Structure 1
Amino acid sequence: MAAEKLTKGRFVQIIIMLTLLITAFIWRTYNNEVAKNVACKQDEDCVFYVNNLLFTAKFSKDVITLKSEKNDWDIEPVSEQVQLEKVGDLWIITRSNPNLLVSIEVSSNDEKPQLIHLKSMSNGF
């Protein structure tokens, strides 16, 4: 096989495959979404930003409350072991396990959704 001549058809096939691989690599790199990791101590306010919007989170044993300076945002759970409820301007996230990593997607009317991982830290680190 190594001694075969490189035909025009085989050369075109190699160039097409190389172009597809480079295009896929560039597209995946450009569209890569980096998740924001937020780790907070229990019963303390924790502040983080999503798309230049300030969020305040408070972790208790089974509940995480989220509040923002604006109300034009929405969250969707990525984790299946959590329940969401909106009460006024607060989002209440109930989790089945206090050590569970909660993944949510925060979106606003005019911004791309952002993936957030919420984790509570023990008070002794």
Structure 2
Amino acid sequence: MAAEKLTPTRFAQIIIMLTLLIVAFTWRTLTYIEPDKLECNLTPKCTVNVNDSSLIAYLEGSILIVNKPAGNWTMTSTDPSLIVKVDDNSWKVEHFSLQEIDFYFKSSKHDEPIKVSFRH
């Protein structure tokens, strides 16, 4: 491929694109907000406030029990090996043997899920 002469129009296009990329990167860096991460130490139980609701969690043997707050809430995990049983009042995670596990709680009133780390 033969080298072409750099024309003033092509040079202006390169400068405009570089400026646009630098502005976009700077804007994203300055407006970035670290997502909320809440921690819950299960000794013997803990309470975490999420979106004006309280989550109460405790251990019963190797089962993590999280009481559901009032309203329509969901609890999800990124670990597919965890078995979560759902009933009317609580979520129960069987074989909770990990030192730390993260769950995401989402209310029907809020768009973003909140990450909560449980430790024991």
TM-score, shorter chain, exceeding 0.5: yes
Aligned equivalents of 1:103 and 1:112: distance in 2? 19
- Do structure 1's residue 34 and structure 2's residue 30 form an aligned pair? no
Please say which structure displays the higher CA radius of gyration.
2
Q: Structure 1: which 5+ runs fail to align?
A: none
**1:110 match:** 109
Structure 2 residue aligned with 1:82: 82
RMSD: 3.0
The answer to whether 1:20 aligns with 2:18 is no
1:63 alignment partner in structure 2? 63
Q: Size of the alignment, in residue pairs?
A: 116
Distance (Å, rounded) in 1 between the aligned partners of 2:55 and 2:62: 19
Shift of 1:27: 4.4
Query: Percent of aligned pairs with the same residue?
Result: 10
Q: TM-score, normalised by structure 2?
A: 0.72
The question of whether the paired residues in 1 share the 8 Å contact of 2:71 and 2:107 is answered with: no
Unaligned runs of 5+ in 2: 1-5
Per the alignment, residue 3 of structure 2 pairs with none
Q: Which letter maps to 1:40?
A: N
* Residues 61 and 98, structure 1, Cα contact 8 Å, conserved in 2: no
Moved over 4 A (4+): 27-33
Q: C-alpha distance in 2, partners of 1:55/1:71?
A: 12
Residues 1:103 and 1:21: Cα distance change in structure 2 (over 3 Å): farther
